[in-house]
Structure 1
Amino acid sequence: MAGKLTTIGFDADDTLWHNERFFRITQERFADLLDDFADPDHLMERLLEAEKRNIRHYGFGIKGFVLSMIETALDVTENRAPGPVIRALIDAGQDMLQHPIELLPHAREAVEALADSHRVILITKGDLIDQERKLAQSGLGDLFDGIEIVSNKTPEVYAEIFTRLGDGPASGLMAGNSMKSDVVPMVEAGGWGVYVPHGLVWEIERAEAPEQSDRYQAIDDLGALTALVKRIEEG
């Protein structure tokens, strides 16, 4: 299905820069702090359950993650979690919010190359202040024609954004590391969904690839995105 792509969307966390590995480091710290109260596997199960429950209250991002850790700590200790443990979890969240941004390979080159020929937009979800901080530190902000920080990524959200900032989802492409958030809903909206795998995947972001769709593609890294866009347009 050849056709001109006018608008290219990029996810941010773990597509343009590292993110999930800092959550994993903090989870290991969390397990060490609660070692006297719960084994690591059980603790991680309880934490994941809390995160799933709390997304609708806190949204995505570090602040909700920290609150879910505190809730889990209180649950597994039957509300007896020591004050220093709670303080350590808050400190861990502060560390995450101050961690410097490290771009993933080919991120800058891919955005720069496509910005010369297409509208490029950033579509990310999470805490507004934290996402703005990361974008500012990344040095990529000026390359984008539009920046959207949303509470969730659904077909309706993609349809609205690609219509408002482009020529509709049918002429758009979304590249990201989350099958659930970046790829599947974009394909369902009628656009191209390009999976760019990252070594670490949050369990909540897992989904089956829409392999039955001819608008689904997967590449090894962003270094292959420009060539893929060309192939799509040439049919």
Structure 2
Amino acid sequence: MSVTTIGFDADDTLWHNERHFQLTQAHFAALLADHADPEHLMDRLLEAERRNIGHYGFGIKGFTLSMIETAIQVTEGRVPAGVIAEILDAGRDMLRHPVELLPGAEAAIAALEATHRLVLITKGDLLDQERKLAESGLGERFHAVEIVSEKTPETYARAFATHGHGPERALMVGNSMKSDVVPAIAAGAWGVFCPSEVEWALEAAPAPEGAARFRTIATLDELPRLVKDLG
């Protein structure tokens, strides 16, 4: 059962993403320095993000709304309008930030696109993900693009059945153990973990060390060799 379809995550697998969130969080902490220490503020923000994912989904817009909610909470409703305006500006700056490909991303896709069906499977805000894909220059090299609200075993089973020969002959590579690796393996595919420099706490999960279809690579440069070895 050779691999015929390869699924790629987008954010922090093909291009930088989480470090922009980290920089914005540092700015947010500076704005609220008179009301909460940075560690406490980040804990409150993470709680808000966890609460709000079901309402706003993943992405910059939900993150911005969570920052505003946290600012209101830690100031007991006294947050100045100027601070809210700066938070909104920070969110817009993130939405305008140029796409920066990660090392090995373009080379890996170039090496695999002629021999395998490539599918981008990413979650997040539809407009922002479409913008980043267009700016990345990689869009036309994928056979299909799936922008989903959540990544579950059912998501991967459907995507790989629709765009390939089913999950048994598919491989998913990404930086999130929780979203890219564990559910892909549960669907019957190979799950390849490619760690990023910064991990979002809500995407952390234990590695499926006992799973026969679990693999780890340091960078995407290693992916073509791994795919070849798997057959």
1:186-230 deviation per Cα after TM superposition (whole angstroms, max 9, x unaligned): 001110000001110000000001110110000000000000001
Please list, as runs of the form range in 1=range in 2, the aligned pairs for 1:14-163 lying within 5 A after superposition. Answer: 14-163=12-161
1:6 and 2:10 correspond:
no
Q: How many residues align?
A: 231
Measured in 2, the distance between the counterparts of 1:185 and 1:75 equals 35
- Quote the residue 1:167 is aligned against: 165
Q: Structure 1 residue 226 and structure 2 residue 224: aligned? A: yes
d(CA) in 2 for partners of 1:8, 1:225: 10
Tell me the distance in 1 between the aligned counterparts of 2:198 and 2:146: 24
Letter in 2 for 1:173: L
* Distance across 2 between alignment mates of 1:144 and 1:190: 22
- CA distances 1:35-88 after superposition (whole Å, capped 9, x unpaired): 000000000000000000000000000000000000000000011100110000
What secondary structure sits across from 1:85 in the alignment?
A: helix
Please report how far the alpha carbon of residue 110 of structure 1 lies from its aligned counterpart in structure 2 after TM superposition.
0.5
Separation in 2, partners of 1:70, 1:112: 41
1:65 counterpart SS class: helix
Query: Could you say what secondary structure the match of 2:102 adopts?
Result: coil
User: Which 4+ residue blocks in structure 1 deviate beyond 4 angstroms?
Assistant: none
Q: In structure 2, how many angstroms separate the alpha carbons of the residues matched to 1:195 and 1:185? A: 12
State the secondary structure of the residue aligned to 1:200. Answer: coil
Query: Letter of the aligned partner of 1:101 in structure 2?
Result: V
TM-score (norm 1): 0.98
* Aligned residue among 186, 189, 200 for 2:187: 189
SS in 2 for 1:230: helix
Distance (Å, rounded) in 2 between the aligned partners of 1:127 and 1:199: 22
SS at match of 1:123: strand
Question: Which residue in 1 is equivalent to 2:200?
Answer: 202
Helix, strand or coil: the match of 2:12?
A: coil
String of CA shifts for 1:126-159, please: whole Å, max 9, x gaps: 0000000000000000000000000000001000
- CA shift digits 1:159-190 (9 cap, x unpaired): 00000111110100000000000000000111
In the TM superposition, what is the alpha-carbon distance from 1:112 to its structure 2 partner? 1.3
Amino acid corresponding to residue 5 of structure 2 in structure 1: T
- Structure 2 runs not aligned, ≥5 long: none
Q: State the alpha-carbon separation in 2 of the partners of residues 219 and 46 from structure 1.
A: 33
Q: Distance in 2 between matches of 1:227 and 1:6?
A: 14
